[in-house]
Amino acid sequence: MTVLVTGGAGYIGSHMVLDLLDAGEDILVLDNLSTGFAWALPAGTRLIRGDFGDAALLEEIFSTHPIEAVLHFAARSIVPESVAQPLDYYDTNVAGGRVLLAQMLKAGVKTLIFSSTATVYGDAATSPLHEGLPPCPLNPYGRSKLMVEWMIEDAARAHGLRCVVLRYFNVAGADPRGRTGQSSRIATHLIKIAVQAALGLREGLEIFGDDYQTPDGTCLRDYIAVSDLVRAHSDALSYLRAGGANLTCNVGYGRGYSVRDVIASVQRVSGRDLSVRMTGRRAGDPASLIASNERICTALGWRPQFDDLDLITQQALSWERQLQQRLQPA
Ligand code: UD1
């Protein structure tokens, strides 16, 4: 049987592919390469280039491969872009997600792991965030992910779809063996921006606001290593294969670091002083996003291995170095 990985050529998906291959799984990747890279996949990986919202393509995939489960990573996921182009986000993430669910059910494929986000919590007043809180996303990206969560919930009730929804906190770092990492052309995440500054690829960076109700005034985030996130997916797959009930779980370490903490870490691991400028708040940034991870630890037996900010920033730095060499003309 085969595991279908949508978005398998992307940042998180490519780490998942390596993990599945290491575990001896048979996999098929579906990716339109809009933000992913074919070179992020190990040689010999079966890649179908196309959209997960393409009903005819999915019908063909499900009728010609013995798909057992779908790991659905593909999505549009940049918050400011979602604010500027909301209908595109609803089209890709929601309308496309509906097509994927419909084609899975039509083909009798009932096992799904869905990539959701901590952004669904919005600016919740409590911390840490637990899965029972009413979601309240503040932007179209978060809303589109929540809509898919709802479709899954309804399809589970009506059609027996079996799913683990994983709500990611701030994913960072890279494969500890240096095989893949975050390769996106445009950096939007703090750690990638900070390591680029450390490598002299940009002049410096800005801190978006230091007037939050947090210990140093900058926002707190629960940064988790991409390898631990991938492990959460393999734990979820084992759980569903063993007959586990549908579940929504946060994936985070349960502790927060501030923007200043992250910058200090990048300075430590790179040995470079970063040029940092303070600016105003970025619209839609909650002061704090910290996971309660009790559920994932208890239900899935998730045991993170890389809960160390310096290790995560070191992984990001090493990958960025490698990426620049790769992008340089020979
Ligand atoms: C990001 C994603 C979100 C995703 C989440 C979890 C964006 C904009 N947000 O959240 O979609 O669901 O990860 O994976 O893509 N910051 C600076 N200066 C910078 C960049 C960021 O001060 O140059 C600050 C931000 O204000 C924020 C923190 O750093 O407080 C983290 O920002 P970022 O890395 O963009 O992640 P989030 O917005 O938290």
> How confident is the model over 143-163, as pLDDT tens digits?
999 999 999 999 999 999 999
In which band, very low, low, confident or very high, does the pLDDT at 73 lie, cut at 50, 70 and 90? Answer: very high
pLDDT at 7 over 80: yes
CA of residue 78 to ligand 1 center, whole Å: 9
Sign, Cα dihedral of 28, 233, 32, 188:
negative
Specify the range with the lowest mean pLDDT, choosing from 10-19, 139-148, 320-329.
320-329
Pair 132, 196 in one domain? no
CA of residue 42 to ligand 1 center, whole Å: 29
Residue pair 66/22 in contact (Cβ under 8 Å)? The answer is no
pLDDT at 67 over 80: yes
Is 180 part of a structural domain of the chain?
no
Pair 126, 238 in one domain? yes
Q: Which of 12, 138, 190, 218 to mutate to test the pocket of ligand 1 (most atoms within 8 A of CB)?
A: 190
Partnered with residue 29 across adjacent β-strands are 5, 47
- pLDDT for the residue 329: 67
In which band, very low, low, confident or very high, does the pLDDT at 117 lie, cut at 50, 70 and 90? Answer: very high
Query: Could you tell me which of 26, 42, 31, 28 has the C-alpha nearest to residue 9?
Result: 31
Report DSSP state, residue 239. H
Pair 167, 210 in one domain? no
Q: Is the CB of 118 under 6 A from ligand 1?
A: yes
Residue written as tokens 């010609």? 64
| Atom of ligand 1 at shortest range from CA of 77 | 11
Is 177 part of a structural domain of the chain?
no
Pair 103, 204 in one domain? no
HSE, CB side, 13 Å, CA atoms: give it for residue 260.
10
Is 194 part of a structural domain of the chain?
yes
Pair 163, 258 in one domain? no
Ligand 1 atom 8: the closest Cα is on which residue?
79
Pair 116, 211 in one domain? no
Burial (0-12, 13-18, 19+ Cβ within 10 Å), 326:
exposed
Q: What domain range is 206 assigned to?
A: 190-221+254-327
Tell me if residue 312 falls in helix, strand or coil.
helix
What is the average per-residue pLDDT within 97-125?
A: 96
Q: How far is CA 184 from CA 91, 300, 302, 323, in A?
A: 22, 30, 28, 10
Partnered with residue 221 across adjacent β-strands are 257, 289
Is 83 part of a structural domain of the chain?
yes
Q: Is the CB of 119 under 6 A from ligand 1?
A: yes
Query: Could you tell me which of 289, 166, 171, 305 has the C-alpha nearest to residue 226?
Result: 171
Rounded to 5 degrees, what are φ and ψ at 242?
Answer: -85, 5
Is 264 part of a structural domain of the chain?
yes
Domain at 206, CATH number = 3.90.25.10
Pair 8, 63 in one domain? yes
Report DSSP state, residue 101. H
Pair 205, 321 in one domain? yes
Which are the contacts of 298, defined by CB distance < 8 A and separation ≥ 6? none
**What does the pLDDT look like over 24-63, one tens digit per residue?**
999 999 999 999 999 999 999 999 999 999 999 999 999 9
Which are the contacts of 330, defined by CB distance < 8 A and separation ≥ 6? none
Tokens encoding 24: 């001896």
Tokens encoding 79: 């918050």
Q: Is the CB of 208 under 6 A from ligand 1?
A: yes
CA of residue 157 to ligand 1 center, whole Å: 34
Residue pair 76/89 in contact (Cβ under 8 Å)? The answer is yes
Domain at 93, CATH number = 3.40.50.720
Is 152 part of a structural domain of the chain?
yes
Tell me if residue 193 falls in helix, strand or coil.
helix
Pair 161, 260 in one domain? no
Residues identified as active-site: 141
Ligand 1 atom 31: the closest Cα is on which residue?
190
Pair 239, 263 in one domain? no
Q: Please say which residue of 212, 233, 251 terminates a domain.
A: 251
Is 44 part of a structural domain of the chain?
yes
CB atoms within 10 A of CB 83: 15
Ligand 1 atom 36: the closest Cα is on which residue?
189
| Domains: count for the chain | 2
d(CA 210, CA 287): 10
Ligand 1 atom 26: the closest Cα is on which residue?
208
Is 176 part of a structural domain of the chain?
no
d(CA 121, CA 208): 20
Tell me if residue 208 falls in helix, strand or coil.
strand
Pair 203, 152 in one domain? no
Pair 125, 261 in one domain? no
Per the prediction, the chain carries an average pLDDT of 96
